[in-house]
């Protein structure tokens, strides 16, 4: 069971609170990622401690919960220095937990729904510009003293993130038999992303070529079921190395600090949108569960939306 810093009284009440059942539901049915499960577990256990400090009968406190109680809990989180984003996650976790208890007839979720989610600061994706992304995917941004196979490896990783929209973890999880290859005429990849969600992404010839170039130079044996991308000593390539390589690329290309590995995935989405890609398709390619997550890219590059408007809206054509 995932549980942190729980008081004895809370631990004793957990079976009645159906805490483990709720986590099992999130893992098996909602298929949340482990990091999200850990965060939600911490959030709800903190809320249960908050309730236990005020009422020895936690189930009674949950059954008679009022919005004002939740607001006091969030106010305490502000005093502890929790950011708006953290408090929004706290509330989301509590809503999920209460909704689960509501289905079991043990509590009502309405009090949590009545509490307004903290306003989040505007955080738009900050993609790498197309020229820089292409140079990184071609191996033009590496340390000049790096070994050729390492340059080829880094280029292949960048090509997968920019050319196919993969997360760093998804690119590094590829095995040798799954990696794109010109010889195998790889046209697509089946990727398992966050929460075990599976999607199919198309593979450009340039991506297969980059992976083949790396495979020919890597000095280690690449067994079919073993990691395709290797570190300097032959072990699986670590995400920290990719971040370090990206920092080198920033220096060589004069990129801002926002140019992180994930910014290449952002570039994939925004550049597709700018060139006529539709949001639903981009959502599927990125593996987003919700379209609202993908819609944020329309605020990064509004030119695609304006172009669609001018092309499709009758009044726009008349005004032109």
State yes or no: is 18 an active-site residue: no
Q: What is the mean pLDDT of residues 133-160?
A: 85
Query: If pLDDT is split at 50, 70 and 90, which confidence band does 126 have?
Result: low
pLDDT at 77: 92
Q: Catalytic: which of 135, 262, 266, 271?
A: 262
Residues 65-91 have pLDDT tens digits of 999 999 999 999 999 999 888 999 999
State yes or no: is 162 an active-site residue: no
Q: What is the mean pLDDT of residues 229-249?
A: 91
CA distances from residue 240 to 23, 150, 183, 235 in whole angstroms, order as listed: 30, 15, 31, 13
Pairing of strands 198-202, 188-192: antiparallel
Q: Catalytic: which of 77, 89, 167, 266?
A: 167
Q: Catalytic: which of 153, 250, 271, 288?
A: 288
Q: Does residue 157 carry a pLDDT above 90? A: yes
Residues 20-32 have pLDDT tens digits of 899 998 888 887 7
Q: Catalytic: which of 40, 97, 162, 297?
A: 297
Encode 239-249: b = buried (16+ Cβ within 10 Å), e = exposed. eebbeebbeeb
Give dist(CA 9, CA 86) in Å, integer: 25
Q: Catalytic: which of 18, 135, 153, 265?
A: 265
Mean pLDDT of the chain: 82
pLDDT at 144: 67
State yes or no: is 297 an active-site residue: yes
Task: Give the highest mean pLDDT range of 5-19, 88-102, 271-285.
Answer: 88-102
Encode 46-66: b = buried (16+ Cβ within 10 Å), e = exposed. bbbbbbbeeeeebbebbeebe
Q: What is the mean pLDDT of residues 101-106?
A: 90
CA distances from residue 260 to 69, 125, 151, 256, 313 in whole angstroms, order as listed: 40, 11, 18, 9, 37
Residues 267-301 have pLDDT tens digits of 888 777 777 777 777 777 777 766 666 666 555 55
All structural domains of the chain: 8-113 (1.10.150.130), 130-308 (1.10.443.10)
**Whether the model pTM is above 0.95:** no
State yes or no: is 265 an active-site residue: yes
Question: By mean pLDDT, which of 21-30, 72-81, 225-234, 254-263 is the weakest?
Answer: 254-263
pLDDT at 33: 76
């Amino acid at each position: 069971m995932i549980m942190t810093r729980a008081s004895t009284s809370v631990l004793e009440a957990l079976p009645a609170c159906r805490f483990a059942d709720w986590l099992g539901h999130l893992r098996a049915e909602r298929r949340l990622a482990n990091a999200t499960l850990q965060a939600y577990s911490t959030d709800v256990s903190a809320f249960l401690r908050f309730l236990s400090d005020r009422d020895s009968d936690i189930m009674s406190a949950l059954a008679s919960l009022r919005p004002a109680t939740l607001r006091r809990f969030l106010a305490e989180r502000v005093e502890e220095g929790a950011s708006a984003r953290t408090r929004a996650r706290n509330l989301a976790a509590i809503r999920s937990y209460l909704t689960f208890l509501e289905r079991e007839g043990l509590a009502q979720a309405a009090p949590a729904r009545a509490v307004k989610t903290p306003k989040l600061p505007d955080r738009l994706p900050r993609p790498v510009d197309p020229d820089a992304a292409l140079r990184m995917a071609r191996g033009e941004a590496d340390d000049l003293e790096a070994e050729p196979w390492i340059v080829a490896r880094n280029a292949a990783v960048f090509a997968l993130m920019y050319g196919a929209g993969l997360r760093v973890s998804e690119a590094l999880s590829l095995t040798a038999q799954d990696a794109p290859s010109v010889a195998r005429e790889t046209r697509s990849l089946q990727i398992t992303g966050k929460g075990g969600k599976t999607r199919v992404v198309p593979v450009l010839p340039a991506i297969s070529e980059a992976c083949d170039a790396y495979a020919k130079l890597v000095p280690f044996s690449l067994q079919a079921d073993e990691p395709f991308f290797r570190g300097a000593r032959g072990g699986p390539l670590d995400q920290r190395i990719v971040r370090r390589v990206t920092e080198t690329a920033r220096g060589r290309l004069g990129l801002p600090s926002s140019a992180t590995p994930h910014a290449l995935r952002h570039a994939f989405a925004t550049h597709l949108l700018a060139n006529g890609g539709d949001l639903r398709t981009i959502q599927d390619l990125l593996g987003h569960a919700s379209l609202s997550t993908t819609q944020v890219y329309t605020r990064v590059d509004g030119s695609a939306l304006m172009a669609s408007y001018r092309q499709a809206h009758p009044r726009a054509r008349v005004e032109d």
